[in-house]
Amino acid sequence: MHELSIALNIVDGVLEELDRQKSGHVEAVHLRLGRLSGVDKDALSFSYGVACEGTPLANSRLLIEDVEVAIFCPVCGVERPTRSFPVLICANCGALGERVLRGEELEITAMELVT
Domain interval for residue 18: 2-114
User: Domain holding 66: CATH number?
Assistant: 3.30.2320.80
What are the tens digits of pLDDT across the range 36-95? 999 999 999 999 999 999 999 999 999 999 999 999 999 999 999 998 777 899 999 999
Long-range contacts of 15-22, Cβ-Cβ distance < 8 Å, separation of 24 or more: 15/55, 15/56, 15/57, 17/111, 18/56, 18/113, 21/113
Please state the separation of Cα 95 from the chain's center in Å. 27
Indicate the number of domains in the chain. Answer: 1
- Classify residue 20 by its DSSP letter: H
Show the CA angle centred on residue 45, arms to residues 42 and 50, nearest 5°: 125
* pTM, entire model: 0.87
User: What is the sign of the dihedral through the CA atoms of 78, 103, 67 and 65?
Assistant: negative
Residue 102 clears pLDDT 80, i.e. is over it: yes
